[in-house]
Structure 1
Amino acid sequence: MVADQLPSAVSLTLFASIWRKNQKTMEESQGDFLPSDVPESTSSNNCERNTSSAHSNRWSGFPGVKKRGHSSRSWIKIDQDGNVKILELDKAKIMRQCSLPSRDLRLLDPLFIYPSTILGREKAIVVSLEQIRCIITAEEVILMNSLDINVVQYKSELCKRLQAKKDQSDDLPFEFRALELALELTCMSLDVKVKELEMEIYPVLDELASSINTLNLERVRRLKGHLLTLTQRVQKVRDELEHLMDDDGDMAEMYLTEKKLRSEGNTPHEINPLTNFSGGTRQVSKSAPVSPIASTSGAPRLQRAFSSIVTASKQGSLTSSHGGDNIEQLEMLLEAYFVVIDHTLSKLLSLKEYIDDTEDLINIKLGNVQNHLIQFELLLTAATFVATLFAAVAGVFGMNFAASIFDYPSAFSWVLIITGAGCGLLYFSFLLYFKYKKIFPL
């Protein structure tokens, strides 16, 4: 039995020695890459640091690469007193300061072309009306700095009105003053462009009606393109004002001063007296949970629920009354400029109708000329038919064949006279037929 166990013991000893040799070989091979006096965590940190430095060195070779959303632009800041300050602000700072999403700031980017838009947000009003692109808050106006005449006029006129507001009795809040000026300048600018287009297009249309040529048609085509573009711009402003007036929520959202005062004011929490189980009174908040011991009869719970309903109804009625006044005030402001822009749009539509009438007149004239050409072609065709008959008779008698009629010298002359008279009578009968059928007046 001992002899049977000896081979197994020898094999186990041999396997253990081989395993120790392999383990020692692996440790020596790892020592070539990792020094023994440096911990493994330190080497891994060094590898990560080298990798990050390699990435930074790779991107450092491109000096023109900038982080997205961190490019600064020049803005004009106008406060409530009319003081102007030029600032360099980036997109992220404006988003944090005015609580605006990135998609709203894209409306103000001059690199993008967006239609006229007025958006009411929690702390600001985003205005993009033609060249006037600004952010209106309850305390200031952040205007896109530009050399455009509308932007310069808006800045100067707003400062002038804000500095002179103490001498005037105007109950409009600051944001409505800024919005009113933007609407006023936009409506005036569009109206001036419409008047210039009217002064240019009416003489061209009158000249085209009297003289139809390629030069006048090309001028009318170019002016009609300008008319369609201007009509779309005016139509977009009108639709935006109409959309705001139709939505009470959007108009209430634009009253920034009231929302600011409401957020800064401390609304007092009503305190209801409740009788406890010991017979005394204590002050408990209406939102506090009711103890099952103190509410055995259920009366305190009903009292608390009733007081909560009454308080909520009072606050809701006060808020709705103030909101209704504000909405009515803003609605009257928007309606005034809606009438102005609608009048401008009606002038553009009248101008378009005048162009359409001129085109109809030109088509009528061209149709009349075409009818005259058709009449002349019909008369010419009838005359050609008659002349062909006369030529056929003359050609028949011009053939070289023997006939007794050639024995008389004047016989051929009589043939020509009779043939000509017959052709003339046939042509006259054609004219009578055309007159009878009223193909053309004769």
Structure 2
Amino acid sequence: MTQLSPNILLRCTILDSHGSIKTISGLFRKSDLCSRHGLEPRDLRKIDSRVPNLVPTILARRSGILINVLHIRAMVKSDAVLLFDSYGAADSRVHSAFVQNLEHNLCLNTSSLPYEFRALESILASVLEALRSELGWLRLVVDDLLEALEDDIDREKLRMLLQISKKLNGFLSRSRGIKLAVTEVVESDEDMALMYLTDAKLGNPRDEQSNLEELELLLESFEKQVEEVLAEIEQIYANVNNTQEIVELILDSNRNRLLALDLRTSIVTLGVSTSTLFVGLFGMNLTSHLEEDPYAFYILSGIAYVMAIAVVVAGLRRLSKLRRIGLSSSASFDNKPDEHHISHARAWWWRENQFRVIRRERNSAMKYTHPSPYPYPEHNPNATPLDPAELNTEPKREKKGK
């Protein structure tokens, strides 16, 4: 049998209308669950843990509300709650706390909310608590790691930074998926009307034009709290990204320093190699007529030292000049601007001034002849538009003394 077979067994815990556990980890066939609760086999795919489903969903059906968010896979009815795979999950502590909280809220019955909304509120509260718990752990780990990176940067810390970045990205995706699932329900009046299961059971079903404020406030409150978690995790994620960029800049700077040191060493080696040219020449068994000169050794040694120093100084200056050009060549102020760009800029500026002068003259003429409610001629629908040819003619200049 495949995972999509209707006869496959699902394990679930059932809570009755009084909040008491009626069945613990019972095994039920898909076909029995569908016939008993008025569901389709495709609806159970969202709450079957053996079917990969990473997108949080909240589905409204006439017979119940299907919820698949984080560690909770449940079906809420007007008088019962079915928790699928509530026991034996990856984190049994979270599930145990959730079941106890759900029992407590359903047994008290102190709220004016109907049964399904009290169960839904408990489920959303458990989801929010799980988000905040994971957020607190991530915040603590990130703060310790960033503080450690300020003192020293090593391979192990960079590997931990990469892992934390992946965890933050996954947590951010899950939080956004939860917010999106709640937002889709809030924006759909039809889905919210279907969630009033108690009213539908009593023969007063809600429709899209009914008052849905009670459920809307519940979902909007949860949505705002998830937004707060999202804002905080986005801030932490931004801090991690900024730290990664700064670490990359520091590593690049150290790499450049090592390259500069290697180049300086190569330049000094070149200077020393140049000075050994005389050693190689006079080391040959050839007669140079300088063997008996008492000053030849000192003169040639001085020339070799001078050549070595000259080569080293010239190479270091050239290296320093190249490094300065590499940093400022993209924004050099000594380069003259392109004459082609200057001509275009001047032409645009001249046409802009012409347009302003023509508009000022027309405004003054219309002001003294017949006042108009339009502040600018181009805003007046009855005004004649400017001729493009006028922009290419020089404006008239008044003579002095007039």
TM-score (normalizing by structure 1): 0.66
Deviations 1:47-72 (A, max 9, x none): xxxxxxxxxxxxxxxxx99x953455
Q: What displacement does 1:416 show?
A: 1.0
In structure 2, the residue matched to 1:419 is: 304
- Cα displacement (A) at 1:73: 4.3
Q: CA deviation at 1:119?
A: 0.3
The one-letter amino acid paired with 1:375 is A
Aligned to 1:130: 70
**In the alignment, which residue of structure 1 is the partner of 2:99?**
155
Is the contact made by 2:270 and 2:311 (CA closer than 8 Å) also made in structure 1?
no
The corresponding residue for 1:397 is 282
**Once structures 1 and 2 are overlaid, which stretch shifts more, 221-230 or 179-188?**
221-230
Are the equivalent residues in 1 in contact too, given 2:271–2:311 (CA < 8 A)?
Answer: yes
In 1, distance between residues paired with 2:70 and 2:323? Answer: 59
| Residues 105 and 119, structure 2, Cα contact 8 Å, conserved in 1 | no
1:213 counterpart residue number: 154
> Are 1:385 and 2:270 counterparts?
yes
Report the Cα distance in structure 2 between the residues aligned to 1:131 and 1:402, rounded to whole angstroms: 94
Cα RMSD over matched residues? 2.7
Once the two structures are superposed, the pairs formed by residues 142-291 of structure 1 within 5 Å of their partners are: 142-144=82-84, 145-147=86-88, 148-165=92-109, 168=110, 170-262=111-203
After TM superposition, the structure 1 stretch with the greater mean CA deviation from structure 2, 74-83 or 413-422, is: 74-83
Asked whether 1:410 is paired with 2:295, we answer yes
**Is 2:102–2:123's contact at 8 Å kept on the other side of the alignment?**
no
Which residue matches 1:104? 43
Q: CA deviation at 1:235?
A: 1.9
Distance 1:345 1:320 in 2: 30
Percent identity of equivalent pairs? 22
Q: Of the two, which has the highest radius of gyration?
A: 1
Quote the Cα distance in structure 1 between the aligned partners of 2:208 and 2:309.
Answer: 95
Contact 1:125 1:135 (8 Å CA) reproduced: yes
Letter of the 1:103 counterpart: R
Report deviation, 1:181. Answer: 0.8
What is the alpha-carbon distance in structure 2 between the residues aligned to residue 154 and residue 382 of structure 1? Answer: 71
2:255 is the alignment partner of 1:370: yes
Q: CA deviation at 1:351?
A: 2.0
Q: Residue 34 of structure 2 aligns with which residue?
A: 95
Q: What are the Cα deviations for residues 236-269 of structure 1, in whole angstroms up to 9, with x where unaligned?
A: 11110111122222222212122222369xxxxx
Separation in 1, partners of 2:106, 2:37: 21
Q: Are the counterparts in 1 of residues 15 and 82 from structure 2 also a CA contact under 8 Å?
A: yes
Instruction: Return the letter of the residue paired with 2:16.
Output: D
2: CA distance between counterparts of 1:421 and 1:246? 84
Q: How many angstroms apart in 1 are the aligned matches of 2:316 and 2:7? A: 86
- Unaligned segments of structure 2, at least 5 residues: 328-402
Distance 2:219 2:13 in 1: 25
Q: Is the 8 A contact 2:189 2:208 kept in 1?
A: no
Contact 1:132-1:150 within 8 A present in 2 as well: no
Displacement of 1:320 after TM fit?
5.4
The Cα of 1:436 is off from its aligned counterpart by 4.9
**1:132 CA displacement:** 1.7
Question: Which runs of no fewer than 5 residues in structure 1 stay unpaired?
Answer: 1-63, 265-317
Match of 2:228 in 1: 343
Return the alpha-carbon distance in structure 2 between the equivalents of residues 320 and 359 of structure 1: 49
Q: Which segment drifts farther, 87-96 or 125-134?
A: 87-96
* 1:191 positional shift: 1.1
- Aligned AA for 2:269? T
**Which amino acid in 2 is paired with 1:161?**
N
1:82 maps to 2:82: no
Give distance in 2, aligned partners of 1:103 and 1:187: 27
Paired with 2:322 and 2:5, the residues of 1 have a C-alpha distance of: 80
Distance apart, 1:126 and its partner CA: 0.6
Q: How many residues align?
A: 318
Whole-angstrom distance in 1 between the partners of 2:281 and 2:322: 34
Given the superposition, is the C-alpha separation of residues 202 and 395 from structure 1 closer, same or farther in structure 2, using an over 3 Å criterion? same
Structure 2 matches for 1:9-48, cutoff 5 A? none
Separation in 1 of the partners of 2:8 and 2:63?
Answer: 23
2:56 maps to which residue? 116
Separation of aligned partners in 2, 1:75 and 1:382: 76
Q: CA deviation at 1:439?
A: 4.0
Question: Is the 1:209–1:358 Cα contact (8 Å) retained in structure 2?
Answer: no
Measured after TM superposition, the shift of residue 125 of structure 1 is 0.6
- Cα distance in 1 for residues equivalent to 2:299 and 2:7: 106
SS in 2 for 1:82: coil
Shift in alpha-carbon separation, 1:121–1:320, aligned structure 2, 3 A? closer
Query: Is 2:238 the counterpart of 1:353?
Result: yes
Q: Deviations over 1:201-237 (max 9, x none)?
A: 3212332343222222222223233222222222211
